[in-house]
């Protein structure tokens, strides 16, 4: 396929159109509020529970919008992507709903539970080494062999628009939020969140939360230019990708800052979400709450946190000895 121009981004109209397009294919996930969590954090916290989404993460929103946007000719050979897990599952589900194949390149160190979920959703898994270069090389071969249409995990306006629909729902349910925070990896979720929030709630702060061991977004925003990362080292396996030029442009335009958190802080946030909110949340999904607790500023009265996913191996919980 020909990828859109590097800085082409969706606007609010695109996000609202995506919301209408995918409405029959996704769950409108709940926004939960727990007074006990407020006491722990020091702010009134509203959790947008994308961990309860079909496929276990917000990724179904962008994948479904992209698949449903394809013409019949574009969709005929199927879709393909590289992913550590959640986008792969989402794309497999979206493709199956349209009756087309999905080819998913996954690193060999992706969690077994996520690989199994992709296969259960009908996707074909292609193994690759656990580097971004290996992912790109394997995907290029798949595209050449199959003629499938690439649906990038985040570097695609259709995917970003779909991701932004979670913020549309959050702001509809709690319109007087002072701040919204979301995890950042490749930047699709944070970009969509920031674009939607800037349009629907001007002046409200949007923050990203990122593992300290995979902090390219934090460093890029400080430098004013996109910086490549080193080999990521974090428990949050869904947050190991790097920003694209497209997502960096949205983040630079609309995001107040990126806060980094340690793996210990992420695990602590997982524990809180399990015990206080009764939510099954993966490390990546808990990073937003960890980031809210670590913000380098006085917390606002009311904050929204996008809990991005809940796909994890329950036999290997990081806070269980």
- Cβ distance 284 to 237 under 8 Å? yes
How many whole angstroms separate alpha carbon 59 and alpha carbon 205? 23
- Cβ distance 153 to 277 under 8 Å? no
How many whole angstroms separate alpha carbon 266 and alpha carbon 283? 6
Write phi, then psi, for 48 (nearest 5 degrees).
Answer: -85, 105
Q: Which two tokens stand for residue 6?
A: 């590097």
Question: 81 has which bridge partners?
Answer: 104
C-alpha distances (whole Å) from 190 to each of 57, 106, 182 are 14, 23, 6
308 is catalytic: yes
Catalytic hit among 25, 69, 83, 308:
308
Q: Which two tokens stand for residue 161?
A: 């628009």
59 is catalytic: yes
Dihedral over alpha carbons 273, 278, 284, 286 (to 10 degrees): -20
Q: Quick one: which of 306, 298, 292 has its CA closest to 41?
A: 292
The H-or-E segment that residue 92 falls in is helix 86-98
Only one residue has tokens 């160190």, namely 109
Catalytic hit among 25, 48, 57, 59:
59
Only one residue has tokens 């937003």, namely 288
How many whole angstroms separate alpha carbon 263 and alpha carbon 70? 39
C-alpha distances (whole Å) from 113 to each of 85, 177, 231, 301 are 9, 35, 23, 38
Question: 6 has which bridge partners?
Answer: none
List residues with catalytic annotation: 59, 308
């Amino acid at each position: 396929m020909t990828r859109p121009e590097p800085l082409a981004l969706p606007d609010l109209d695109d996000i609202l159109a995506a919301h209408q397009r995918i409405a029959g294919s996704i769950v409108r996930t709940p926004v939960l509020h727990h007074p006990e969590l407020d006491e722990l954090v020091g702010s009134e916290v509203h959790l947008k529970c994308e961990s309860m989404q079909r496929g276990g993460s917000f990724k179904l929103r962008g994948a479904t919008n992209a698949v449903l946007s394809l013409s019949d000719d574009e969709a005929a050979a199927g879709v393909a992507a590289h992913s550590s897990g959640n986008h792969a599952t989402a794309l497999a589900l979206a493709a199956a709903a349209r009756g087309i194949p999905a080819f998913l390149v996954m690193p060999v160190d992706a969690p077994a539970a996520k690989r199994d979920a992709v296969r259960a959703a009908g996707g074909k898994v292609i193994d690759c080494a656990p580097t971004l270069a290996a992912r790109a090389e394997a995907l290029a071969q798949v595209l050449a062999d199959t003629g499938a249409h690439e649906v990038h995990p985040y570097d695609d306006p259709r995917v970003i628009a779909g991701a932004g629909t979670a913020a549309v729902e959050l702001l509809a349910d709690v319109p007087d939020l002072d701040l919204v925070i979301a995890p950042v990896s490749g930047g699709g979720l944070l970009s969509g969140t920031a674009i939607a929030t800037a349009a629907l709630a001007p002046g409200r702060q949007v923050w990203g939360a990122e593992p300290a061991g995979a902090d390219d977004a934090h460093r890029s925003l400080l430098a004013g230019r996109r910086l490549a990362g080193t080999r990521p080292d974090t428990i949050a396996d869904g947050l190991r990708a790097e920003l694209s030029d497209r997502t960096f442009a949205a983040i630079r335009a609309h995001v107040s800052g990126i806060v980094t958190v340690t793996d210990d802080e992420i695990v602590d946030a997982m524990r809180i979400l399990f015990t206080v909110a009764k939510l099954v949340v993966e490390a990546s999904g808990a990073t937003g709450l960890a980031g809210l607790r670590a913000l380098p500023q006085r917390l606002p009265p009311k904050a929204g946190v996008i809990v991005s996913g809940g796909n994890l191996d329950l036999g290997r919980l990081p806070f269980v000895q």
